[in-house]
């Protein structure tokens, strides 16, 4: 068989045409597949963009701006100062007719009522506001929402209570209502009742008036656990920025915090300045204490001093450890950020996993770290940080330490040689002032209130889980709690020993016991010394 050149060329051309058709068909199919994929990606991108569009809002802390908050600090303090000044003017123009009745002066009532007036905006105004945003593909996606709308979370005391109650956080709501609302109202009621019965002819009512004022002085500081919790929460949120470049988290303490802090501070101070009514004579003749308190029974007067020194050392060690240890923690849960719980679409799950936010933003807070951060934030001109620093560094940290030091100084005056020296002279300035200062400092020391604040916010923070924010307690709380237990034991044991050795003027000295031995053997001498000292003071004043 023979083939012509034409047949060969035709065959070759046919093969080329068939190959070209196959290649074109393959290329066309790939182009179609690519176009479909691009269309699918475009559709997904469009759906993601449409889903993220409501979340692309300006990332701001919310609430009021810094200038308005600073003005609130000024005006809050000005209201208290003006009311106190007008009360002082009234005291000067209309002095009390009977100085024997130790009613509170008008300047004291002015300060007290002005501080209670600030309680109203403290409950209704924004207390704390913050926003959390994640940086995704160059976009700032806000994950904090309020009523389903992306934006900053701005909370007042009333709104937090309502949110907790509606979301099932009943215990947290009850605790906030108790400390922020019930205790202030109870303080005002008991103060009014105490002043109403102060000069009553019925001795039982006068005695009840003493009890009302004592209760107010004890409960007064317990109105502000929430304030300390929000101070720590401020540090937790702001520290997210420092731990991850993928997170933006502005936060601030707002006008509600300012007003409530001023209320707590000045109402506590003024309640301590109110003198107790004199104890009625018919109720003042209490039976003398036959046996010395446990501290003197076990250690004697000299041993009481060394026991107070030992408790100061234990307290200091526990306090330093507790201040450096984490007391609260905050983390972001990726699974809670995705729909249907969170605001982000589920198609972003692989991207969130790649960002690994959970390991980046897990953060703890210690009291010491928070104090250091507050000092740094003072340079930003935030007056709210000044109040927060005063409360956390002063009331929660320094005052308990000063109280323990005063207890040690007061216990030093109970030693045998010191007491013998004071038989013929008035008590030393150090021991006398330290004893009185300790009573005041104990009521102003708020380490216990801070611990309760951490507990309250841990129960109340469940409402933020829908935002992917998880807040909890850490083991440092238990160190601080142990330090405060030592503080309580030291205060009541040393003060009881001081009252036994040197009773206050409204408490009759115990009768001498026959045949006392050991720590009790010096009791009769102590009673005689107290009587001789009181007599010499009366003679000198005469």
Among the residue ranges 198-202, 230-234, 280-284, 482-486, the one predicted with the least confidence is 280-284
64 shares its domain with 28: no
369 shares its domain with 339: yes
Among the residue ranges 93-97, 177-181, 182-186, 278-282, the one predicted with the least confidence is 278-282
Domain span holding position 21: 1-55
Among the residue ranges 242-251, 337-346, 433-442, the one predicted with the least confidence is 337-346
Mean pLDDT of the chain: 78
How much helix, strand and coil, in percent to the nearest 5, is found in the chain?
A: 70, 10, 20
Digit-coded pLDDT (tens) for 192-204: 999 888 888 888 8
Query: Which among 10, 33, 55 is the end of a domain?
Result: 55
Which tops the pLDDT comparison, 409 or 302?
409
Residues 6+ apart with CB under 8 A from 381: 66, 70
Among the residue ranges 5-9, 242-246, 450-454, the one predicted with the least confidence is 5-9
**pLDDT, position 120:** 93
46 shares its domain with 68: no
Digit-coded pLDDT (tens) for 154-173: 888 888 888 778 767 788 88
Instruction: Return phi, psi of residue 132, to 5°.
Output: -125, 125
In a domain, 139, yes or no: yes
In a domain, 542, yes or no: no
9 shares its domain with 92: no
* Element at 322 (helix H, strand E): helix 294-324
**pLDDT, position 367:** 93
- Which of 446, 457, 63 is CA-nearest to residue 257? 63
Q: Strand pairing of 469-473 and 363-366?
A: unpaired
Check whether 485 has a pLDDT greater than 80.
Answer: yes
Distance CA 333, CA 117 (A): 41
91 shares its domain with 33: no
Check whether 152 has a pLDDT greater than 60.
Answer: yes
Got the DSSP string for 353-379? HHHTHHHHH-EEEEHHHHHHHHHHHGG
**pLDDT, position 227:** 87
Got the DSSP string for 109-139? HHHHHHHHHTHHHHHHS--EEE--EEEETTE
Instruction: Return phi, psi of residue 252, to 5°.
Output: -160, 155
**pLDDT, position 298:** 81
ω into 340 cis (within 30 of 0): yes
In a domain, 22, yes or no: yes
50 shares its domain with 79: no
In a domain, 41, yes or no: yes
In a domain, 517, yes or no: no
In a domain, 518, yes or no: no
**pLDDT, position 427:** 45
240 shares its domain with 92: yes
Among the residue ranges 124-133, 385-394, 501-510, the one predicted with the least confidence is 501-510
18 shares its domain with 72: no
Q: Would you place residue 339 in the very low, low, confident or very high pLDDT band (cuts 50, 70, 90)?
A: low
368 shares its domain with 413: yes
Among the residue ranges 28-37, 108-117, 239-248, the one predicted with the least confidence is 28-37
Crossing angle for the helix pair 447-460 and 225-243, to the nearest 10 degrees: 70
Check whether 294 has a pLDDT greater than 90.
Answer: no
393 shares its domain with 323: yes
Digit-coded pLDDT (tens) for 218-274: 988 998 888 888 898 888 888 877 777 777 888 899 999 999 999 999 999 999 988
Query: Which among 37, 55, 73 is the end of a domain?
Result: 55
In a domain, 536, yes or no: no
227 shares its domain with 241: yes
Distance CA 277, CA 101 (A): 8
Q: Strand pairing of 247-248 and 149-150?
A: unpaired
Cβ-based burial of 400 (10 A; exposed 0-12, middle 13-18, buried ≥19): buried
User: What are the counts of helices (DSSP H) followed by strands (DSSP E) for the chain?
Assistant: 23, 11
Tally of domains in the chain: 2
Check whether 297 has a pLDDT greater than 90.
Answer: no
Q: What is the pTM of this model?
A: 0.78
In a domain, 415, yes or no: yes
Query: Which among 22, 39, 55 is the end of a domain?
Result: 55
32 shares its domain with 60: no
Instruction: Return phi, psi of residue 225, to 5°.
Output: -60, -35
């Amino acid at each position: 068989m023979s083939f012509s050149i034409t047949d060969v060329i035709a065959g070759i051309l046919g093969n080329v045409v068939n190959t070209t058709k196959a290649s074109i068909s393959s290329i066309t199919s790939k182009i179609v597949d690519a176009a479909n994929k691009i269309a699918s990606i475009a559709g997904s991108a469009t759906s993601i963009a449409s889903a993220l569009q409501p979340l692309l809002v300006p990332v701001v802390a919310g609430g009021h701006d810094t200038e308005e908050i600073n003005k609130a600090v000024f005006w809050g303090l000005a209201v208290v100062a003006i009311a106190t000044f007008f009360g002082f003017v009234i005291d000067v123009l209309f002095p009390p007719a009977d100085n024997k009745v130790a009613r509170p002066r008008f300047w004291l009532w002015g300060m007290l009522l002005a501080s209670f007036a600030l309680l109203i905006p403290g409950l209704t105004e924004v207390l704390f506001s913050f926003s959390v945003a994640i940086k995704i593909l160059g976009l700032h996606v806000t994950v904090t929402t309020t009523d389903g709308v992306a934006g900053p979370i701005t909370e007042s005391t009333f709104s937090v209570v309502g949110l907790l109650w509606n979301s099932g956080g009943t215990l947290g709501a009850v605790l906030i209502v108790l400390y922020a609302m019930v205790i202030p109202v109870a303080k005002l009621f008991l103060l009014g009742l105490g002043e109403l019965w102060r000069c009553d002819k019925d001795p039982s009512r006068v005695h009840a008036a003493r009890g009302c004022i004592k209760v107010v002085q004890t409960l007064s500081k317990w109105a502000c656990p929430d304030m300390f919790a929000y101070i720590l929460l401020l540090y937790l949120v702001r520290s997210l920025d420092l731990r991850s470049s993928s997170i933006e988290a502005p936060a601030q303490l707002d006008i509600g915090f300012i007003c409530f802090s001023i209320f707590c501070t000045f109402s506590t101070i003024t309640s301590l300045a109110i003198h107790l009514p004199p104890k009625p004579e018919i109720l003042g003749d209490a039976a003398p204490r036959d046996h010395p308190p446990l501290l003197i029974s076990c250690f004697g007067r000299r041993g009481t001093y060394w026991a107070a020194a030992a408790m100061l050392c234990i307290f200091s060690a526990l306090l330093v450890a507790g201040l450096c240890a984490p007391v609260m923690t905050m983390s972001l849960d990726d699974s809670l950020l995705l729909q249907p719980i969170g605001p982000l679409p589920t198609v972003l799950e692989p991207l969130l996993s790649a960002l690994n936010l959970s390991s980046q933003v897990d953060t703890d807070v210690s009291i010491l770290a928070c104090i250091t951060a507050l000092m740094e934030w003072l340079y930003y001109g935030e007056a709210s940080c000044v109040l927060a620093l005063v409360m956390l560094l002063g009331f929660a940290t320094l005052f308990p330490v000063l109280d323990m030091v005063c207890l040690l100084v007061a216990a030093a005056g109970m030693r045998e040689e010191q007491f013998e020296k004071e038989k013929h002279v008035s008590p030393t300035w150090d021991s006398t002032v330290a004893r009185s200062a300790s009573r005041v400092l104990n009521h102003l020391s708020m380490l216990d209130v801070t611990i309760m604040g951490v507990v309250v916010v841990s129960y109340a923070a469940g409402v933020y889980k829908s935002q992917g924010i998880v807040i909890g307690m850490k083991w440092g709380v238990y160190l601080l709690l142990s330090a405060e237990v030592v503080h309580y034991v030291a205060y009541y044991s040393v003060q009881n020993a001081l009252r036994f050795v040197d009773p206050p003027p409204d408490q009759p000295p115990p009768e001498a016991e026959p045949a006392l031995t050991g720590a009790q053997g010096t009791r009769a001498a102590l009673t005689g010394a107290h009587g001789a000292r009181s007599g010499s003071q009366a003679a000198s004043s005469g």
